[in-house]
Chain A
Amino acid sequence: EVQLVESGGDLVQPGRSLRLSCTASGFTFADYTMSWVRQAPGKGLEWVGFIRSKGYGGTTEYAASVKDRFSISRDDSKNIAYLQMNSLKIEDTAVYYCVRDKPFLEYLYGLDVWGQGTTVTVSS
């Protein structure tokens, strides 16, 4: 079964750091770009960023709202993607979803596999 499982969500104080993990199974993780998407309580979806597969250089892109504070990495040997969140703000409070993105060498695709989400609450 193709699956993504996020972990690491917690209650943290503003200004602190947190790292989320996304463990993949059931597919060749290394072949996919992996995205993170968040959803604040009662709000819509917001793309956070992605990390390309090694085939595309393993580079990253971020939303302006998190650039310079968040970073995404991956360990293809463990099938895990990470979201490192620094200098957390109250407005970063959200459910964070890990999402399977572009397959290597495919041009017609969708963000088709989503984890169940992990909750990050930033509060003093």
Chain B
Amino acid sequence: EIVLTQSPGTLSLSPGERGTLSCRASQSVSSTYLAWYQQKPGQAPRLLIYGASRRATGIPDKFSGSGSGTDFTLTISRLEPEDFAMYYCQQYGISPPYTFGQGTKLEIK
């Protein structure tokens, strides 16, 4: 099973700053099957990025994904109040089990 480790566990930033979230895999992951989700309290997760770098429908371009192999990054430029939430990375696709990272909490500083 592929283990995904997200860092930091909590990221404290101010509105207007840039957020960089990391996801490291225990073994190489196909970029085709690496996704990022945003989850706010009491809500279902929302797909932000799939295929490591492709924005899902309706996701603004302030969200960007990058990486390959075992290291992936979600970058959020120009943080706005609504961006403060939990973020999860996930590997999925042709070889189950799917796994999620433990999450990064992005909080207002």
Question: What is the CB-to-nearest-CB distance from A38 to chain B, in angstroms, rounded to a whole number?
Answer: 11
Category for how many chain B residues contact A: 20 to 34
Asked if A114 contacts B56 (CB within 8 A), the reply is: no
If the complex has contacts A108-B50, A110-B35, A112-B50, are A46 and B100 also in contact, measured as CB distance less than 8 A? yes
Interface size class on chain A is: 20 to 34
Please tell me if the beta carbons of B92 and A45 are within 8 angstroms of each other in the complex: no
CB under 8 Å from chain A, chain B span 13-69 = 32, 35, 37, 39, 44-47, 49-51, 54, 56-57
**CA–CA, A115 and B45, complex, Å:** 9
**13 A-B residue pairings within 8 Å (CB atoms):** A37-B45, A44-B88, A45-B37, A45-B39, A45-B45, A61-B96, A63-B97, A97-B44, A101-B92, A108-B32, A112-B47, A112-B50, A114-B44
Write the residues of chain B forming the contact surface with A, with a CB cutoff of 8 angstroms: 1, 32, 35, 37, 39, 44-47, 49-51, 54, 56-57, 88, 90, 92-93, 96-103
